């Protein structure tokens, strides 16, 4: 009997111990799960906290300020034509053989006279710019009729593609800046309309000093203003403007030197 009671007590003790172990296991699992969830929650929080600055520096599309569209800068030729009172024929900043209205510009010459052109850097009216140097050597003997030939510079103002002449009726002057290498250089301004264009010549002005404040070319820049009404021709059909080193410009019909020209234009 005592033996049976002893066995019974052992069984009861074993069951109690087993149940305690099970309860302990359950509590342990629950505790571990809670800790894991807390750890995961903390990790998620850390990740979110870490991402906040990144999102803060990435503005939404609706918050990005609108950028105004920028049109391409107009060509310099359009810029120089922006003043409605001035039609710039050439400022010598572009093509060597084309003026600002897209027509030819070059020298004309008959031996034994000589002429050449080149661009130079200079300062005109307080601004740095390119200018045209015209170097000339007008002879008075030899060549056609023994008069030494001729030399000068021309810039066409008619449209060469359409052969349309320029209507200068709204303008009053041919203007440009001029100076000489040594002073006292001389030339005449020429202007051609349709008639003079067809015979390959131009009508000449008086000597350039008449249109300068100092009465002659010096070594400092001066602005020349040659009235269009100085030329008795058809102003509504203009073909070219020329710089002419005529025999009448020099003592004994011969002269050599260099002049500098900038900003040939028609002005109202």
- Against a cut of 0.85, is the pTM above it? no
pLDDT digits (tens, 9 = 90+) for 166-217: 999 999 999 999 999 999 999 999 999 999 999 999 999 999 999 999 999 9
Query: CA 232 to CA 195: how far, in whole Å?
Result: 12
Task: Render 155-213 in DSSP notation, one character per residue.
Answer: EE-SBTTTTBPB--TT--EEEEEEEESSS----EEEEEEHHHHHTT--EEEEEGGGGST
- Asked whether residue 224 carries a pLDDT value surpassing 90, the answer given is yes
From the CA atom positions of the chain, what is the Rg in Å?
A: 46
Q: Would the pLDDT of 249 be above 70?
A: yes
Domain spans of the chain? 2-63, 79-267
- 3-state class of 82 per DSSP? coil
If one looks up domain 79-267 in CATH, what number appears?
2.60.120.430
Q: What does the pLDDT read at residue 77? A: 41
The three-state secondary structure class of 122 is strand
Q: What is the pLDDT of residue 252?
A: 94
Per-residue pLDDT, 16: 58
If we measure between CA atoms, which residue out of 148, 81, 91 comes closest to residue 114?
148
* CA torsion through residues 22, 24, 25, 31, sign: positive
What are the pLDDT digits (tens) for 31-52? Answer: 444 444 444 344 434 333 333 3
SS3 call for 25: helix
17-26, 71-80, 199-208: which has the minimum mean pLDDT? 71-80
């Amino acid at each position: 009997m005592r033996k049976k009671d002893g066995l019974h007590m052992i069984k009861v003790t074993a069951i109690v111990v087993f149940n305690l172990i099970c309860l302990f296991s359950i509590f342990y699992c629950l505790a571990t799960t809670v800790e894991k969830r807390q750890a995961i929650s903390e990790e998620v929080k850390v990740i979110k906290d870490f991402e906040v600055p990144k999102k803060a520096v990435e503005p939404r599309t609706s918050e990005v300020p609108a950028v105004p569209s920028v049109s391409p800068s107009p060509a310099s030729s359009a810029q120089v034509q922006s003043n409605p009172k001035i039609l710039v024929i050439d400022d010598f900043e572009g093509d060597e053989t084309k003026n600002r209205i897209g027509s030819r510009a070059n020298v004309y010459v008959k031996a034994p006279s000589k002429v050449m052109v080149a661009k130079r850097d200079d300062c005109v009216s307080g601004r740095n710019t390119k200018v045209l140097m015209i170097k000339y050597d007008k002879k008075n003997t030899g060549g056609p009729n023994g008069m030494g030939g001729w030399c000068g510079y021309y810039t066409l103002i008619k449209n060469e593609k359409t052969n349309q002449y320029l209507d200068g009726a709204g303008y009053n002057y041919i203007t440009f800046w001029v100076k000489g290498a040594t002073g006292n250089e001389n030339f005449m301004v020429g202007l051609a309309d349709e008639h003079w264009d067809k015979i390959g010549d131009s009508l000449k002005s008086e000597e350039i000093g008449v249109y300068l404040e100092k009465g002659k070319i010096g070594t400092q820049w001066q602005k020349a203003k040659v009235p269009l009404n100085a030329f008795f021709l058809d102003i509504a059909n203009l073909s070219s403007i020329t710089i002419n080193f005529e025999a009448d410009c020099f003592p004994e019909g011969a002269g050599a030197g260099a002049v500098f020209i900038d900003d040939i234009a028609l002005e109202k």
